Amino acid sequence: MTPVDILILSNGPGEVTTWVRPVVKALRQQLGDDRSVVRISVVLSPCPNATGKEAAIALSYPEVDRVQPAEHFSQFLLWGKTFENWEWRSRGVVVFLGGDQIFPVIIGKKLGYRTVVYAEWEARWHNLIDRFGVMKPQVAARVAPKYAHKFTVVGDLMLEAQGSCTNAINGVSTAEIIGILPGSKAAKLTQGIPLMLAIAEYIHANRPQTKFVLPVAPTVDLQTLASFGDSQKNPFVETFGLSSVSLIIPEDGKSKASLKTQTGLTLELWQENPAYDLLSQCCICLTTVGANTAELGALGVPMIVLLPTQQLDAMRSWDGLPGLLANLPGVGSTFAKVINWVFLRRKGLLAWPNIWAQEEIVPELVGKLQPSEVGDMVLDFLAHPEKLDGIRHKLRQVRGESGAAQKIAQIVNEVIGE
């Protein structure tokens, strides 16, 4: 095969971890690992939810050959030149996995490459993009007949978590483990860590046999995570009545690091990523909104989705224009309050499994949440495991088919052949 370049366009932490990772694996499985024949590059565009570690995460994937961080994207978009002045092969494919769908149009033209777009809810630029892999048939149904041949229904890339955990435990875990997933962005961790740890303290006081685990997002270091449980650095620690939190890092280098509170609660910190094997053993998880809910849903793990609103301007992790407005210096707080107020008035379903099912399979709790109220709900679930079994059954019914990454890789393979 003539050497080709595959250029992945992506942006935020969710896209890099839940979209890019499975797609590059599928591309290597189908196209081989010979870098002289197939080279995979990742170029990131700016995202209001970015942590600054997306490039390092993408470069850690063994299937990827080179990565350009988001800060150099404008230069590449305008002139087609990367910061390190990469050379490009004469044949290639631009694969869109996050950002603005106009980007592959512009960059594909500059490089003379074919274009493939993964579209969740809406596909644009039908006349200028070569192929689309869409999440649902409804996305393709809105397309003019003359472009229908470009569209393939591939399914939901977020469901690839299911395929990454083929040995996951199905059914009730033998141990009583509760997963804590507060998110990876400061806007969520500020309220999420104090609230979820306070809930864990309440549960632990009533069921001391329960074990708590927190899969640490790859974009967050342990010291930063622990700082959100420090009342000197985060006023929400007192708001939720959380006791003092200490970070424990074992000297032997083998045991798990942990967060420990004055009440005796110990929360194990798992830095392995992805943590699907661990999550699959949880009887229930406490999570914020976002990609976490899709991964838990794909694994069939019951969850309670929490969106505390003790401070309306604390949630600034919106995509697109709302996210940019909410993070403007000086006036961002005002914009954030207005955006969140409007959101709460018009709120629909938030968790991905509920969106898939168009009904509330897993509880979504929004408002000025209190640890004891949420804790009582968890204790009720633990006391009535048949309720958890019912949630698991519904999650398995709605999670759909996996294999979206393989189907996208097949589309790329076909485009290369063309």
The CATH number linked to 315 is 3.40.50.2000
The answer to whether the beta carbons of residues 208 and 382 sit under 8 Å apart is no
Question: pLDDT (tens digit, 0 to 9) for every residue of the chain, 418 residues total?
Answer: 789 999 999 998 778 888 999 999 999 999 999 999 999 999 999 887 677 888 999 999 999 999 999 999 998 998 889 999 999 999 999 999 998 899 999 999 999 999 999 998 788 899 899 999 988 787 888 788 888 889 998 988 877 654 443 333 343 344 799 999 998 888 789 999 999 999 999 999 999 999 999 999 888 889 999 999 999 999 899 999 998 899 999 887 778 899 999 998 999 999 887 787 788 889 999 999 887 888 888 788 999 999 887 655 445 454 444 455 445 565 555 655 555 555 555 556 888 889 878 899 999 998 889 999 999 999 999 999 999 999 999 988 876 666 899 999 999 999 998 8
Can you name the residues that pair with 164 across neighbouring β-strands? none
* 36 burial level (CB within 10 Å; 0-12, 13-18, 19+): exposed
Q: Indicate whether 368 and 409 sit together in one domain.
A: no
Please provide the DSSP assignment of 219-264 as one string.
Answer: T--HHHHHHTT-TTT-THHHHTTPPPEEEE--TTSSSPEEEEETTS
Instruction: Report if residue 161 sits inside a domain.
Output: no
Q: Are residues 64 and 112 in the same domain?
A: yes
CA angle 112, 118, 121 (to 5 degrees): 135
pLDDT for position 193: 95
314 and 350, same structural domain? yes
In a domain, 171, yes or no: no
Residues 204, 327, single domain; the answer is yes
Based on the domain organization, do 114 and 134 belong to the same domain? yes
Same domain, 297 and 409: no
pTM strictly above 0.75: no
* 167 occurs within a structural domain: no
Looking at the 3D structure of the chain, how many domains does it have?
2
Domain check: are 277 and 391 in the same one? yes
Same domain, 217 and 363: yes
Question: What are the b/e assignments for 69-97, b being 16+ CB within 10 Å?
Answer: bbebbeebbeeeebeeebebeeebbbbbb
In a shared domain, residues 280 and 364: yes
Residue type present at position 369: L
Q: Are 146 and 195 contained in the same domain? A: no
Crossing angle of the two packed helices 371-383 and 186-206, in degrees rounded to 10: 60
Domain of residue 99 covers: 4-155+403-417
Q: Do 276 and 194 belong together in one domain?
A: yes
139 and 189 fall within a common domain = no
In a domain, 222, yes or no: yes
